[in-house]
Amino acid sequence: MPGECPAFLFGFPGGYQLSPSAAMCYNKRGKIIGQGGVMKLNFSLNLEQSQKLVMTPELRQAIEILQYNAIELNHHIHEELMTNPVLEMTDKDNLVADYESKLHEIAERIDWKAVVSEGDNFKHTYQKPEEREEYTMDNMVADEESLHDHLLFQLHFTLLDDRQLTVGQYLIENIDHTGYLRVDDEHVKATFDIGDDDLEEIVQTIQTFEPYGVCARDLQECLLIQVQMKRIQNKLVIEIINHHLEDLGFNRLKVIAKSLDASEKAVQEAVDVIRNLDPKPGLMFATLRDVKYIVPDVVVKEVDGENVILVSESSAPKLNISNYYKSLIQNASTEEATTEYLNQKLANALKLIRSIEQRRNTIYRVVESILEFQADFFEKGTMYLKVLNLKDVAEKIGVHESTVSRAVNGKYMQCPRGTYEMKYFFQSGVSSAIGDGISSESIKSIIKELVDKENTAKPISDQTIANEIDKVGIKVSRRTIAKYREEMGIPGSSKRKRY
């Protein structure tokens, strides 16, 4: 019987048969497709060159460290200090040396087998940063009286009875941070089984408390409370609050004047009084703890006419390797398991230190490039801020755009002109007749300057602003002017008009 001829040797599909006597290979139809008792197989090697990025743990750590801002880096370093005994902070007062000498005294009492067996659980012998009291700005702020505390204090000096005090306390607890009452009247009446008159008496009592305007249900009531408590006698003020708040919001003073049969000047005076009232009286009790502090990642100082770049280290303590643990690793009498554990921690520590140094170097080079591109800004001001993108800086310092993005994102620079988010220096803009692009911030500064100088009785329109800017060779559409104006919080010309 003919034997099976392996099809894959010939590259043909289907069944093939090999005749042992004739050493011929047939297909299923009996046609000879191969002959001879010897079949040759050829193998060859092809050399190809390709590039691909391998994300090693060290590279991943370097990328992560680079994108940290100063506060995040500080937190990460403290986490590493808790989990890695080989790492230590450089102590300016040389307290580390004293600590190391004490380590030698207690070395015999350390159960290294237990330490090694714990492995990464070493951190459990330390206190986490969130559990420790740190001498931060927040912890140096004195305890402050909250809005609720202030209102409750005044509540206990009223003539309300115990039951009314209970309701009053409940109402105060439902006043939000802006000072408005955020609970439905029907809910309060059902909860405490009281009537409309009793509830209104308690509410009106709280509405006499300072800051004036608290415990209001809406803006209109808030403003009327302040008018009453401040004894403002202008009848137009009350009329406008009661019937024309929407017109006031759109600065439709002519409509208000016509409706109230008053002069535009009198309406303007009444509106000025209303705008001096506080629409969110509770915010004056916002504590300093609500303030978000900015820690600059880079400080640029001018020394003898030259800019000096300092990558901030105030929030990221310098790290080094403990001499004690280095000597322990080098000691031949140290147990093998202990040496292996410490060597691993040493490798991790060195990677972290290199990543932090690489972060510092990258940020330094990025800032150095920014100072060069935006030299006119640092010398002359916002008007001279140029168009700049990530690609420009990346090509200048020889890195990828994503590296520049990570180096500037969420970070701040302190310089003689103030503290800026580093992304501020990367500006889009428009072309100009002089060739160089004009940044959006430069155009915004021109808009602000023109608005500040305008006649408030006849505010200039967006088109007029565009025409004025066009005179200096900068082509900007009216729509772009409107966009930039709104971004700066400047109202339109109709709302800026005064009578």
Give the side-chain half-sphere CA count within 13 A for 448: 13
Q: 220, 241 in Cβ contact below 8 A?
A: yes
CA 53-58-60 angle, 5° bins: 60
Q: 400, 392 in Cβ contact below 8 A?
A: no
**Which pLDDT belongs to residue 439?**
82
Task: State whether 259 and 230 are in the same domain.
Answer: yes
Please list the residues that pair with 432 across neighbouring strands. Answer: 474
Task: State whether 423 and 435 are in the same domain.
Answer: no
Q: What's the CA dihedral at 185, 189, 194, 195 to 10 degrees?
A: 50
Give me the amino acid identity at 360: R
Across the range 234-258, mean pLDDT stands at 94
Domain that holds residue 194: 147-285
- 53-57, 79-83, 365-369: segment of lowest average pLDDT: 53-57
* End position of a domain, from candidates 235, 256, 285: 285
Distance, CA of 175 to CA of 225 (rounded, Å): 16
Residue 74 has pLDDT above 80, yes or no: yes
Closest CA to 184 of 213, 218, 226: 218
- Domain annotation covers residue 47: no
Task: State whether 86 and 198 are in the same domain.
Answer: no
Q: 265, 279 in Cβ contact below 8 A?
A: no
Counting the structural domains of the chain, the total is: 4
Q: What is the CATH number of the domain that holds 483?
A: 1.10.10.60
pLDDT tens digits, 100-125:
454 455 445 445 445 444 444 444 33
Q: If you search the block for the tokens 């115990």, which residue do you land on?
A: 162
Task: State whether 457 and 419 are in the same domain.
Answer: no
Task: State whether 366 and 406 are in the same domain.
Answer: yes
Comparison of pLDDT for 249 and 126, the residue scoring more: 249
Task: State whether 229 and 160 are in the same domain.
Answer: yes
Residue 363 has pLDDT above 70, yes or no: yes
Task: State whether 240 and 344 are in the same domain.
Answer: no
- Domain annotation covers residue 46: no
**Which pLDDT belongs to residue 316?**
63
Task: State whether 404 and 340 are in the same domain.
Answer: yes
- 177-181, 269-273, 276-280, 321-325: segment of lowest average pLDDT: 321-325
Across the range 244-258, mean pLDDT stands at 93
**Which pLDDT belongs to residue 12?**
43
Q: Residue 128's pLDDT band (boundaries 50, 70, 90)?
A: very low
**Which pLDDT belongs to residue 91?**
58
Task: State whether 323 and 370 are in the same domain.
Answer: yes
